[in-house]
Amino acid sequence: MSLFGKKEERYLGVDIGAGGMKIVELLFEGGHYKLMTYGSTSRNADVVATAIMENPEVAIKHLVELIKESGALAKDVIASLPVHSVFSSIIAIPKVKEELETRALVERQAEKLLPLPLAEMIIDYQLIDELESKGDAKTGEPIDKTLVAEKSAATGRADVNVRVMITGAQKTMVSAYTNIFKDAGLDLMSLETEPFALIRSMIGDDKSPIMILDIGAFRTNMTIVENGIPFINRSIKVGGGSVTQAIATQMGVSIEEAEQVKYDLHAAGNGIPKAVVDLFQPIVHEVRYAMDVFIKSEISLNQHVEKVILTGGSALLPGLDAFLTEELNVRTFVGDPWARVKVNPALRPVLDELGPRFAVAIGLAMHAKKEEAKEKVKK
């Protein structure tokens, strides 16, 4: 018996959506993730117009209830920021060796694009790849000549440029998140956008151009990913709640009854009601538009998106994958976020039903040890 045994590495992914919260606790052990527990809370349809994090008392209550009911032991948390609340863009800057100089160049470019003054934002960035000095051949945008001149004056050469993905969040929002988790007795290790969590849980190391279609309660997010980088992000206010409302209207039942009908439809495999098909047309239109932007922007050498992965609470609507495959002419299927996590085989049927709803939370919980996990797998 060791008196100084190694501390268990448990991480809690917290997905904060309009309809409530979802948590997944993973244990990182032997280079792999193991599911320890999970849970969720939901909000009534009449209160979702206000984001849950805008009401700290409600948010803390949801968190405390989830921790208690699920029995989660982890205190280290990685939480999500909604796509529509975060600024994201890809820029090109001259390549430099010093990290401080790179950040300065990034901030100079970001300042021109940000919706708020740089002083009011928290900026993060990720280097993508090198480009020719003539300009950004993949995005069609020229390199800032002032930045090139500065780099040339400093180093005597400006023949290599690099694409950089930048993300930014308002400082007041980040501070509010930090305080809420602190008051709930949790340690917020990191905040990240939902696409990165979904890339981790749904795509893994697949480098091909893929669209993730996340159909949430009241919003649908679409992300086109290649080489692990989310190049295109779009979000529209149509989601599972709208599907429920459409079923309720068509069948003349209450919202609660319509929600049950939606899940019964999946179990029975009776196909998608016409009202729901009509409702999905705006989503189909936006998906086509996003794919068109991806191809025309010359971000990728590929001329098409290879597949669409469905996730989110309404991903399991019967026939939805076949419907979208036909409409988009792209192979579409429901993703399995548990594929990279060890789970109890006896729980598999239940987890398969819940998987699409918990994909973001799973990916968040996988954040903390992702680099170490890759190294151990290689060994």
Tell me the mean pLDDT in the region 218-233.
Answer: 90
pLDDT for 373 equals 41
- pLDDT of the residue at 265: 64
Share of the chain above pLDDT 70, in %: 80
Kindly tell me if the per-residue pLDDT of 134 is higher than 60.
Answer: no
Q: How far apart are CA 251 and CA 170, in angstroms?
A: 43
Q: Which residue has the higher pLDDT, 16 or 18?
A: 16
The reported pLDDT for the residue numbered 158 is: 47
Query: What pLDDT, in 10s, does the model give residues 25-66?
Result: 999 988 889 999 999 987 655 445 556 777 888 889 889 989
Summarize pLDDT for 247-259 with one digit per residue, the tens: 788 788 887 787 7
Q: What confidence category does residue 263 fall into, taking pLDDT thresholds of 50, 70 and 90?
A: low
Q: Residue 261: its pLDDT value, please?
A: 76
**pLDDT for position 374:** 40
Instruction: List pLDDT tens digits, range 277-335.
Output: 787 888 999 999 999 999 887 777 777 899 999 999 888 887 889 899 999 999 999 99
pLDDT at 328: 95
Supply 250's token pair: 């068509």
Q: Which residue, among 359, 283, 292, 370, has the nearest Cα to 324 in the 3D structure?
A: 283
Q: What pLDDT is attached to residue 326?
A: 93
Q: Exposed/middle/buried for 320, CB within 10 Å: 0-12, 13-18, 19+? A: buried
Provide, for the chain, the percentages of residues in helix, strand and coil under a 3-state DSSP scheme, each rounded to the nearest 5. 45, 25, 30
Mean pLDDT of all residues in 91-100: 88
CA–CA distance, 79 with 191 (Å, rounded to integer): 5
Kindly indicate the confidence band of residue 159, based on its pLDDT and cuts at 50, 70 and 90.
Answer: low
Residue 176 has pLDDT above 60, yes or no: yes
Angstrom CA distances, 117 to 168, 291, 321, stand at 11, 31, 42
On whether the 205-335 domain is CATH 3.30.465.10, my answer is: no
Mean pLDDT on 132-145: 39
Quick one: pLDDT at residue 251? 80
**C-alpha–C-alpha distance, residues 352 and 357, integer Å:** 10
pLDDT at 202: 95
- Mean pLDDT over all residues of the chain? 81
The pTM is what? 0.83
pLDDT in tens, 64-82: 989 999 999 999 999 998 7
What is the DSSP annotation of 17-66? ETTEEEEEEEEEETTEEEEEEEEE----GGGTTS-GGGSHHHHHHHHHHH
State how far the Cα of 81 lies from the Cα of 192, in Å rounded to an integer: 6
- Check whether domain 10-83+172-201+341-378 has CATH 1.10.287.130, yes or no: no
